[in-house]
Amino acid sequence: MTTVTTEPRSIMSTTWSITPEFTLTEQERADLHAALSTTTVSPYRNYAAFTQQVTEVIRSGAVPRRFLDFVATLAGRDRNAEPVVVIKNVPFDADVPVFDFAEPVSSKYQLKTTFVAEAMLALFAQLAGTPSIGYVNVNDGDVFQDIYPKESMAASQSQKALKEIHFHKDLANHFVRPDQVYMVGMRSHRQNEVYTSFVRNIDIWECFSEEELELLRGRNFYTPFDDLTVVGSKELGDADLHPVLGPIGDLRYFETRTRGINEQAREVLAKLDEALHALKQRVFIEPGDFVITYNNCTIHAKEVVAVADEELLRTRWIIKTVNVDSIAPHLGHLVPGTDYLVNG
């Protein structure tokens, strides 16, 4: 249970900082890349067979012992205090052709013929015991999703946006909210200053008085379903009113989209925005970076600080999965006959 003070502190930069915690050696990366390259089944056509191939990689003993030991330490991690992990130099698919800006997902199906990054994500999920999940309403159920711009959604607040994505948690307004988001950097360019920024929940709540926290705990806020979930003909009805501060100190909020239903609620959201931007920590995700964010303990954003080459901005690419600590609480929401696909 996250504790809060009764008096607010001033909004100032946090002492928390994000630094890489593990780096694979060149030999470890090369050996693991070779092992993951044996996953020849497309995860977009036969997810179950693909994950079985990843299981065989683990059973073969190909995963470096140092990496196994590091992953094992994460089970006892204080997620509230350290909600982001950065791992460097993991295997990924280099030199994948640029996808079509108009239809990047279908273009990926045609152009991406190796699945090393997807295997890395699946391998980590298996090692950590955190099952990956997909959503029927997101990329037709693909478990492996792309943070990659799409022309028709370039101005949206989704992973297909060209420019910034404001502070949010993944699927914060969905009936199945992920516990983790795992990301592998595939393509980025230092000419463009594009960052993934994070804020810890525990730092945010210290900025508010007990009276403000009580307001944030009330059903005084409304957030429409996210752009990617409802794009096209997908309809989930109207979202419910909700609290911003959850019972375990979690944050249910999407900057610029969550709205207060009265003046007091609107004022406290303005203060929340101020706190987010005062406390944020920026990470530049490079190719071969593996980034973990514990979705209920932190909030994140894509910040586009400066653009020197607009064309290169269209090709920035991160592959991600969303994961849960256990599939058991979500079984009632799964598509019958699957153990990973959320019906929504």
Residue 343 has φ and ψ, to the nearest 5°, of -85, 75
Q: Which residues are annotated binding-site positions for Fe cation?
A: 168
Domain ranges of the chain: 22-342
The secondary structure element, H or E, covering residue 55 is: helix 47-59
- CA-to-CA separations, 26 to 29, 30, 158, 213, 284, in angstroms, rounded: 5, 6, 34, 48, 21
- Blockwise average pLDDT, block size 10, the chain, 344 residues: 41 77 98 97 97 98 98 97 98 96 95 98 98 93 96 89 92 89 97 97 96 97 69 54 91 94 97 97 98 97 96 96 97 96 94
Are the C-beta atoms of residues 126 and 61 closer than 8 Å to each other?
Answer: no
Please tell me the predicted confidence (pLDDT) of residue 105.
94
* Annotated binding-site ranges: 168
Query: Which helix (H) or strand (E) segment is 282 a member of?
Result: strand 281-283
Residue 143 DSSP class: S
Q: What is 22-342's CATH number, 3.40.50.150, 3.60.130.10, 3.40.140.10, 3.40.190.10? A: 3.60.130.10
Which residues, 6 or more positions from 312, have their beta carbon under 8 angstroms from its beta carbon? 189, 191, 192
Contacts of 103 (CB under 8 A, 6+ apart): 150
